[in-house]
Amino acid sequence: MMFKSLRRFTYSLLAILLACLSVPLLAKADGQSTTTHTLNSSYVVYGAGVASEHYADLDNVLGTDSNFKKLTSTASDYRKYISDSTNTTDAAMISSVAIAPGDPGSGVKVNIKDYNGSNNITTVTAQQYALVAQMAGVTDVTIVVTANRPVSGEAALTGVYKAFAADGATLNTTNTATANQMLDATQDAINANSDDKTYPGKLMAAVGDTTKQIAQEKQDGNSLTTDQIAKLLEEALAKRGISEQTTTNQVNNIVNVLVNFQNSPISSSSKYVSNVGNTINNVKNSTGNLMNKAKDWASSLDTKKASETAQNWFQKLIAWIQSLFS
């Protein structure tokens, strides 16, 4: 009788533990069926054009360790995720990235790190990377970008998308291609306002505001015209206080990509609507290359390690309980 009671108690305890731990597991499964994803592991992705002799220095700059899974981004990956009509070669893939899971609701944060004292990402800003990654279907991650020699940085997100594929969450290539078009569309405005360090964050926040409204309208069954999208963007620019700094031609370039965004799968995602707000908050008051403090990067890695430790403990607990009845 005592043995049966112990067994019933043990089964009840196991059921409670399973119920408690099933919530994040179910959330993960649900996330895999949508167009918005986060990571389970941490990755470092080297550009194919980087000689292996630079890997140790890159690891030091990126702040990675042996827990990061290592990948290489190639010209083939660039054609898959960014543009299939390019002549990009492996030798041109120079940017390297590290990417780690963030806390739920943290959005996308990006740091661009100097290599040997030089900022070798010469064109793209941290704020552009963050919002564009969110538009591609990435959320709740921290990304660190660097390069061992000067490059524009346009190919860096290829490594991020490849890491997600390796993690089991392949991003929709229509979303990634459209998102990367936003790098080009916003670049002229950012270059023209290079003397205003707050401009990239305000511009990308305005773009994020507009994508959120477009997605909400689409999910309500409304397809917006180009003029309506332009009006939304102009209102968002005014809200951020940069309408006078952004020319009509620059606005039109962005609107053209926003039209493509409306036709992309991610604009139908309710999770995009909720998640993009987190990234907007990250970029709107951000200046410079560092959106995430070093301690927060370390914290995201500690959170990942703690999660893995908890999972290992739970597996050992199940094995022990099973041994009682074997």
pLDDT per residue as tens digits for the range 298-318: 555 554 454 444 455 545 555
CA distance 134 to 276: 7
Q: What angle do CA 110, 180, 245 make, to 5 degrees?
A: 75
At how many degrees (to 10) do helices 199-219 and 226-239 cross? 140
Average of per-residue pLDDT values in the chain: 86
Residue 193 structure tokens: 């306002």
CA distance 176 to 170: 11
CA distance 64 to 301: 9
pLDDT band at 323 (very low <50, low <70, confident <90, very high): low
* pLDDT computed for residue 306 by the predictor: 47
Average pLDDT over residues 35-39: 80
C-alpha dist (Å) from residue 27 to 37, 45, 158, 222: 11, 27, 26, 29
Pick the closest to residue 44 from 96, 98, 90 (CA basis): 98
pTM: 0.82
Residue 112 structure tokens: 């661009």
In the chain, what are the domain boundaries? 43-292
Q: What is the DSSP string of 84-110?
A: SS----GGG---EEEEEE--TT--EEE
pLDDT band at 210 (very low <50, low <70, confident <90, very high): very high
Higher pLDDT, residue 27 or 118: 118
List, for residues 168-188, the tens digit of each pLDDT value.
Answer: 998 999 999 999 999 999 999
For residue 79, give the 3-state DSSP assignment. Answer: helix
* pLDDT computed for residue 198 by the predictor: 97
* pLDDT computed for residue 68 by the predictor: 97
